[in-house]
Structure formats: structure tokens, C-alpha cells
Structure 1
């Protein structure tokens, strides 16, 4: 099965983008090649841009506190594992303390680094990070991989409390809701939802099917079209029935 997650508000959309970026920067940082470390640094700059758009630290702290209070209400319920509950609450406490201990704004340590900001300015230009544009960066890319990796870890480290915070929120979101099996007749599915509220849709489809879902949703209706697409063909509706699993995820 392949899972497609569709955010239904801007906040969840931003958290999913950050999750993707943090996964990429961790992947590239662990490599040894200079091109991989260049990709890690470019991804780090993307994280900086995304986190600078809103007061994310405050928003995450408020959401974690809200989830903490909601979970505390469940204490003593026979349907809830006390051990699992304590573990989640402990993770929330650690993540909150980590964000509270972050000095200044998110990524301030990166913005204060003139060398990094000079690179960030150039990588936004196609081909702008060539050796004749940034000789000092070219020199850095020729250092041994352990030194480059150590620098990347130093630059990424102050951002990790944010990652721990949104990872908990997304974990709770993904584990909410009930799964339903549906069939899209001739590749099309529609469901009317009188006021149904959700923060994200999770849709799973057999990965052997040559189609992808196009999702349009609001609190009144959900429309899904399964479309065949690829580099060598124009998109068109998959004309066979498609079975899929759907979950309305809500914090």
C-alpha cells in the first residue's frame, strides 16, 4: 500500500513540509559526498524559510499543551494503556522544554552567520553556487567529510526541538480517526459530509495500481479522482474501479 496524506489547513500543510525537509537534511547529512552535503545545506535553508513565516514555536507549544490536557482526561480509562499514555505525555514534556529553552527566534543562529547567508543568497540563483561565485564555499566542500558533517550537525542541532515538537503532533494526528474501506467507481469517488471536520486525510491505495488520487475536500464534500499520469502520457481518469482505505485524521 502507498499512503497519500492530504492536509486540510495551512498549519498541517506546513508541518508536513517540515517533516519532509527534516527527513531530507538528515539523509543527506549522513552521506560523505560533497554533493550530498550541498543538498543538505540547501535543504537547511528551505527549513529556515518555512519556519520564518509564522511564530511556529509558540504555535507548537500551544498545540502540545492542548494535546497534553486532552490526554490527561483519558487517564484511568480502561481502554487506554497507562504506560503508553505516560510515555506520550513524557515526550510532550521533553519536547516542550526543548522549545522553551531555544534562545531567540527559530534559526537565528543561522541568520547571524554571514557566511551561511551569503551562500543562501547565491543558491537561490540557478547555478549561483559555482566555485567562481563562492570560492570559500568551494573550499568548504573540499574539506574532509567528517568536518563538513560536524558543521552540518552544529547548524541543524538548534532546530531539532522544533522537529521533536511537530513529530509528536503529526504522530497523534496520524493515529486519530477510524479507517474506512471505499471503492471509487470508474476512478471517481464522492462523499457528502454534513459539517465533518478533519485536519488531514490519509488515503491508502495498492501500490500496483497505475494511478494517483487527486483530492478536493472541504467540510461539506470530498471528491477524489484517480488519475493515470506519467512522464510519457497526459493525465486522464483511471476508468476501472479503485479500492482504497480512507481515514479522517483530526487533532
Structure 2
């Protein structure tokens, strides 16, 4: 099954973008090729760009506090495991403390590294990190892979509190949804959203054998899915057949 996710607000869009970047970074650092480490460094710079948003850290801390208050309300409920509840709240506390005690924005300390910033200033230029542009960086790429990995891990560690917080918040959000089987008649699906609940994320699982690509739109009142197919002309065309998929709304 192919999983598609659609965020209903800008804050969650930022969280999902960061999650994608952190997962990419986690894939690239353990590799040994210099090209992989170049793109690991590019990913660190991308994370820094996203994390530079003024209110991001405050939003994450606020969301952690919100989840903690919601979970605290479950104490004393006989159908809830106190041990499991304590474990999740402890995770939230750790993430909050680690992020809150970090000075400035995530990755801010890296901006004091002139060598890294010289690379960052050239990365956006097509071919801007050639050996004749940045000989010191070219030399670094030819050094021992283990040394490069240690350096990347050290730089990435400044982003770890933000990464752990994002991972935990998205896991809690995804776990809040209940999957349901739905059908798109002639490739079209619409569902009114219940009033009184603010959904933040739509998750959609599609069987790849159907050969369809969803175009998702939505707001606090309604969600709409239009199924498309890639044609021989390399363009998307509306699907006119009935198709079933799995839909999850997460609040």
C-alpha cells in the first residue's frame, strides 16, 4: 500500500517537511561515499533553513505541553495503562526539556562555524561546490569516511532535540486516527467533517495495483479526493472508475 498524507494547516506542513529531512539525514550519514556525505550536509542546511522560522520552536514546545495536558486527563481511567501513560508523558517531558534548554533556534550553533557557512553559501549555486570553489571542502570529501561520519554526527546532534520532538508529536497525532474503508465513485470522494473537532492530518492508503494518484484538498469542514491516472502523454487524467482506499483522519 502507498501511504499519502495531507496536512490541514501550515504548522503541520512544516513538521512533515522536517520529518522527511530528518529521515533523509538518518539514511545518508551511515553511508560511506563522499557524495552521500555531501548530500547529508546539504540536508543539514535545509533543516536549518526550515528551523529558522521564528515561531517554530515555540510551536513545538506548545504542542508538547498540549499533548501532556491531554494525557494527564486520562489518569485514573481504568481502561488506560498507567505505566504506558507514564512512559509517554516522560518522553514528552524529555523532549520539552531538551528543546527548551537549547539556546536559540535549532542548529543556530552551526552558524558560528565559518567553514560550514562558506559551504552553505555555495550550495544554492548550481555546481557551486566544485574543488576550485571550495578546496578545503574538496579535501574534506577525500578524507576517511569514519572521520566524515563523526563530523556529520556532531553537527546533526545540534538538531537532535528538534528531531525527537517532531517524531514524537507526529507519532501521537497519527495514533489518534482510526482507519476506515471508503470508496470513490467514478474517481471522486467527498466527506463532510464533524463539527467540534479540528482535524490536522489526513492519511490515505492506496493499493498500487489500482494505478491511481490522489489529489487531496480539504479544510475544517470538508475533505475531497480526486483520483488521477498517469497517461501515455505523461500527464495526469481523471480516473472515471470506482476505487476503494483506506482513509484516516487524525486530530
Range class of TM-score, shorter chain: over 0.9
Quote the Cα distance in structure 2 between the aligned partners of 1:232 and 1:28. 35
Partner of 1:188: 188
Unaligned runs of 5+ in 2: none
The RMSD of aligned alpha carbons is 1.5
For residues 42-61 of structure 1, the aligned pairs below 5 Å read 42-61=42-61
Cα distance per residue 1:152-187 (max 9 Å; x no partner): 011010110111111111011001122221100121
Quote the Cα distance in structure 1 between the aligned partners of 2:101 and 2:30. 26
How far apart are residue 197 of structure 1 and its match? 2.5
Residue 107 in 1 paired to residue 112 in 2? no
Check whether the contact 2:51–2:105 (CA below 8 A) recurs between aligned residues: no
Partner of 2:228: 227
Distance 1:42 1:231, change over 3 A: farther
Matched length: 250
For residues 166-245 of structure 1, the aligned pairs below 5 Å read 166-193=166-193, 195=195, 197-229=198-230, 233-245=234-246
Check whether the contact 2:178–2:248 (CA below 8 A) recurs between aligned residues: yes
Partner of 1:124: 124
SS in 1 for 2:208: coil
TM-score by length of 2: 0.95
SS in 2 for 1:208: helix
Quote the Cα distance in structure 2 between the aligned partners of 1:232 and 1:146. 47
How far apart are residue 232 of structure 1 and its match? 5.4
Cα distance per residue 1:15-51 (max 9 Å; x no partner): 0000000000111110000000001000000000000
Partner of 1:150: 150
Check whether the contact 2:231–2:237 (CA below 8 A) recurs between aligned residues: no
Unaligned runs of 5+ in 1: none
